Amino acid sequence: MMFISMGELVHILKTEEISRKSQTRLKRIRNANLVIIGDLMFMAMDQQEANLSFHLINDLYNKSSIILTFNKAPKEWGELLGDPAITTAILDRIIHRSGVIHLNGDNYRMKHRTSIFA
């Protein structure tokens, strides 16, 4: 099992060619039976980041179980990825043979912090 945030994953993907540490981490990710990627689509990606993310998802497709957490509906991903073709390809691999669990409710991080915003 491997857990990684999307921000950290993007950094690792972008530095794979120059960093032995990134190469090692990506090898572990690609060989994991379960990969959990947190905060997917939390921030916009440029073309290179979207391409790198697609290639990783494609590598994991049919080899690993993938759990994703995200706060944007898939219909909004095109705006964040900036490329409809890559968005469609990523969603195709993520949604095929998947189950979706939609959690709707209060943010657990803010549960005891309501006084800050009152």
- The domains found in the chain, sorted by start residue, are 2-117 (3.40.50.300)
On the question of pLDDT at 118 being above 60, the answer is no
What local confidence, expressed as pLDDT, does residue 84 receive? Answer: 84
Cα–Cα distance measured from residue 7 to residue 9, given in angstroms and rounded to the nearest whole number: 5
Can you tell me whether residue 83 is helix, strand or coil?
Answer: coil
| pLDDT band of 116, cuts 50, 70, 90 | low
Maximum distance among all alpha carbons in the chain? Answer: 48
Q: Which residues touch 27 (CB under 8 Å, ≥6 apart)?
A: none
Can you tell me whether residue 107 is helix, strand or coil?
Answer: coil
On the question of pLDDT at 11 being above 90, the answer is yes
| Amino acid sitting at position 72 | K
| pLDDT band of 98, cuts 50, 70, 90 | confident
Cα–Cα distance measured from residue 40 to residue 107, given in angstroms and rounded to the nearest whole number: 16
What local confidence, expressed as pLDDT, does residue 81 receive? Answer: 81
